Amino acid sequence: MSRRPETLAEAPLGRESAYPQHYDASLLYAIPRAANRVPLGIEEGALPFVGEDEWHAFEVSWLNARGKPVVAVARFRLPAASPNLIESKSWKLYLNGFNQTRFDGPEAVIETLERDLARVAGAAVDVELFGVDDAALMPRRLPGESLDEQDIEISDYTPVGGERLVAGEDIVEETLYSHLLKSNCPVTGQPDWGSVLIRYRGPRLDRAELLRYLVGYRQHQDFHEHCVEHIFMDLMHHARPERLLVLARYVRRGGLDISPWRATPGQRPPEPLRLARQ
C-alpha cells in the first residue's frame, strides 16, 4: 500500500532503482499537492481553478492470457482537485511491472490501472488505451498565435515581473502560446522542456512581457503541475481576466509526458492533442 510521504527523501525519483518484473501496485508514490500550493495562496479545499493532469505513457505492455505481448499507449487524466499527484518515476516503475504480467484483455488492464492510481491520487483517474497507430496520437499544432518571435532582452530567469503583464485596459479574447517553456525537476535538477498555451478574455496582455515572464521559469525548480498553477495564479492576480486557461505540454521523458491544465470554471482545453516533441 502506497503511503502519504512527508518529504521526497525516500521517493524513487533521483535514486537508482531495480526495474520490477511483475505487477506491484505498492510502487506508486504519492506526493501531496497542498504544500506547494500554500506559497501561491491556494487553500486546500478551495481551489480557484478546475483542471486535470493529463499523462501519456508510451511504454505500456502486458501479456495476454496466452503469454503473447500486447503494446499500447495509455492516457491518464488525474483531476487537479485530487489531494495527491503521483511521482513520475514510481509511475514508470509501476507500469514496467505490467510487462511480464498476464491479463485477460485491455478492459482488465484499464480496471487495474484505474483502481491503483485512484487509491494513490485520492480521486478517480480516467484511463484510456490506444493502439500505437491510432490517429488520435498523431502530432498536431497548438492553436492560437505564437509569442516566440518577440524580440526581447532578458537576464532574470526566475518567474517574476507579473505586474507588467497588462498592456492596456481594452478587453480582448485571444489564444497565445510559446515553445520556450523550461523548468527544472525539484528533485534531480534535470531540465523539463515544454510548450505553454494561454487562452483568456480580459485586459490585453503585453506579449513581450508575457514571453519574458514565461522564459523566467528557465531556472525555476518545481513539478510540472505546480508550474502551471503558478502561471495561472500570477495571471489571475496581475491581469484579472474574466476567463483564463493555462495548458502546458511537457516533453516526454522516460516514456511519460505530462500536460497539466488549469482554468476558470467552465473552461476546457482544446481537443486532446500531442505535440511533435511529445
**Residues that are catalytic:** 185, 192
Angstrom distance (rounded) from CA 166 to CA 204: 6
The CA–CA distances, whole Å, from 170 to 51, 177, 205, 215 equal: 28, 20, 10, 25
Which residues lie closer than 8 Å to 161 by C-beta, 6 or more apart?
A: 209, 212, 213, 216
Helices (H), 74-223: 88-96, 106-121, 207-215
Angstrom distance (rounded) from CA 82 to CA 263: 16
Query: What backbone torsions phi and psi does residue 223 show, to the nearest 5 degrees?
Result: -70, 155
What does the block give as the cell for 141? 499544432
Query: What backbone torsions phi and psi does residue 260 show, to the nearest 5 degrees?
Result: -75, 150
CA 252, 256, 262: angle at the middle one, nearest 5?
A: 85
Helices (H) and strands (E) in the chain, counts: 5, 10
What does the block give as the cell for 18? 531495480
The CA–CA distances, whole Å, from 9 to 3, 17, 18, 29 equal: 14, 14, 18, 12
DSSP run (H or E) holding 201: strand 191-205
Q: Are residues 243 and 236 in contact, defined by beta-carbon separation less than 8 angstroms?
A: no
DSSP run (H or E) holding 37: helix 34-37
